Amino acid sequence: MSEPHVAAVGTSPFGHTDLTGRDLFGAAVVEAFEGLPDPADVVEAVYVGNQSESYERQIMYGTLLAEWAGLRHVPAERVEGCAAAGAMALRHAVEDVRSGRRDAVLACGVEKMTAGGTAGATTALSAAFDRALEGRSGVTAPSQYALLAKRYLHDTEATERDLARIAVKNHANAVANPRAQFRREVDVETVLDSAYVAPPLKLFDCAPITDGAAAVLVTSEDVAATLPGDAVRVAGVGAGTNNIAVAERNLAVVEGAREVTTRAYEAAGVSPADVDVAEVHDAFTVSEALLAEAAGLAPRGRGYESALPPDERAEGWTATRLSTSGGLKARGHPIGATGLAQAVEVYEQLTGTATPDRQVDGATTGLLINEGGVADAVTVAHVLIHD
């Protein structure tokens, strides 16, 4: 048994680019290995988070990216869990190291979502639903989350304006993040005036379509000690599924995410109050509200207060800073890369290497929650600690 560490991180730019998936990966790896030995001298296996071959008509991303990193004859594979694929890749790397089987594993994620335009992305993402009754009914990703949001607004005191504030906060956070797709502020009226995509969700409640890649090197403590730069301990992991069809779930609580996050806390020996920074899966604004509650960072039914100053929130909120990267909403949401982009943000926060405008002083414990399918059809959570 060896405590796994995040020893190096890198990303491509996030946004709409002419670069292909492999090129984006190349950018992420170049950054991650800056000042390090070549990947071939360190990396023993590769896991690639990648949602769908329908964007680029390319599978075999394990083989392709291993080759692009100069890794010969290593085990390399793509893992699939829609938008949770990135954290799945990270988890496989972490478990390989924790078990003692390997000393250094590269977890990476890549998606080139713009290749097929909006229609292509709609079709690709719709493959994540239960096809029999959901997909064939013509639901889409925004409308699936809208079903949750409608019920959330019905069951709580939350308003569309409260959800809009979450988008405003995450755009404001992204201004200070050089990696973010949208480094610009928006105001509440802009969000509220944007077109409905699926009521109550509007265009500005939705994460964008993004091209991007991220790479995270996970190593044993001993290997991390030989590498330049700081390392962060992966103290706890949780992973688990919920129903694939939204209809059969508890619509008020993302139970799967709650269970998985609780497991990650228990493995790490921390409680919600210990979490300084959290990257949660705000694919839609309502997701940040639901996940703040599921992770125990907000009291039940009050997650919508995520964007309010601490003194205006209900009793029971932790002091955790949410989505300092700008979240999926404004950093961008390159599906298979998102879970690793979350890890990059928390690594930078915990090592004090985030840009000054977004650095959370003294952050030592971070939480990652990455979801796939609609909401918590699958959830992977990691707790990272900088000792």
Partner 1 sequence: MTDDTSPPTAPRTAADVTADSPFTLPGFFAALADGDLLAAVCRDCGAHLIPPRPACYACGGRTLRAESQPLTGDVITYTEVRTPPPALEARAPYTVAIVELDSGARLTGRLTVPHADAAIGMRVRLTTRPPDDDELAMALDNERDWPIHEFDPIAADD
Site residues (CB under 8 A) for partner 1?
118-119, 122-123, 126, 132-134, 136-140, 142-143, 146-151, 154, 195-201, 243, 245-248, 251
Show the 3-state SS of the chain: CCCCEEEEEEECCCECCCCCHHHHHHHHHHHHCCCCCCHHHHCCEEEEECCCCCCCCCCCHHHHHHHHCCCCCCCEEEECECECHHHHHHHHHHHHHHCCCCCEEEEEEEEEHHHHHHHHHHHHHHCCCCCCCCHHHCCCHHHHHHHHHHHHHHHCCCCHHHHHHHHHHHHHHHHCCCCCCCCCCCCHHHHHHCCEEECCEEHHHECCCCEEEEEEEEECHHHHHHCCCCCEEEEEEEEEECCCCHHHCCCCCCHHHHHHHHHHHHHHCCCHHHCCEEECCCCEHHHHHHHHHHCCCCCCCCHHHHHCCHHHCCCCCCCCEECCCCHHHHHCCCHHHHHHHHHHHHHHHHCCCCCCCCCCCCCCEEEEEEEECCHHHEEEEEEEECC
Closest CA to 171 of 143, 127, 137, 205: 205
Least distance from partner 1 to the Cβ atom of residue 9, Å: 34
Least distance from partner 1 to the Cβ atom of residue 323, Å: 24
Question: Which of 144, 324 has the CB closer to partner 1?
Answer: 144
Least distance from partner 1 to the Cβ atom of residue 142, Å: 7
Closest CA to 115 of 64, 56, 60: 56
Question: Which of 98, 151 has the CB closer to partner 1?
Answer: 151
Question: Which of 176, 252 has the CB closer to partner 1?
Answer: 252
Question: Which of 244, 270 has the CB closer to partner 1?
Answer: 244
Residue 232 burial by CB count (10 A; 0-12/13-18/19+): exposed, middle or buried?
buried
Question: Which of 243, 359 has the CB closer to partner 1?
Answer: 243
Least distance from partner 1 to the Cβ atom of residue 110, Å: 24
Question: Which of 179, 333 has the CB closer to partner 1?
Answer: 333
Least distance from partner 1 to the Cβ atom of residue 169, Å: 24
Question: Which of 205, 279 has the CB closer to partner 1?
Answer: 205
Least distance from partner 1 to the Cβ atom of residue 282, Å: 19
Least distance from partner 1 to the Cβ atom of residue 306, Å: 21
Question: Which of 99, 250 has the CB closer to partner 1?
Answer: 250
Least distance from partner 1 to the Cβ atom of residue 246, Å: 7
Question: Which of 133, 319 has the CB closer to partner 1?
Answer: 133
Residues with Cβ within 8 Å of residue 136, at least 6 apart in sequence: none
Least distance from partner 1 to the Cβ atom of residue 153, Å: 10
Tokens (6 digits) for 376: 């918590």
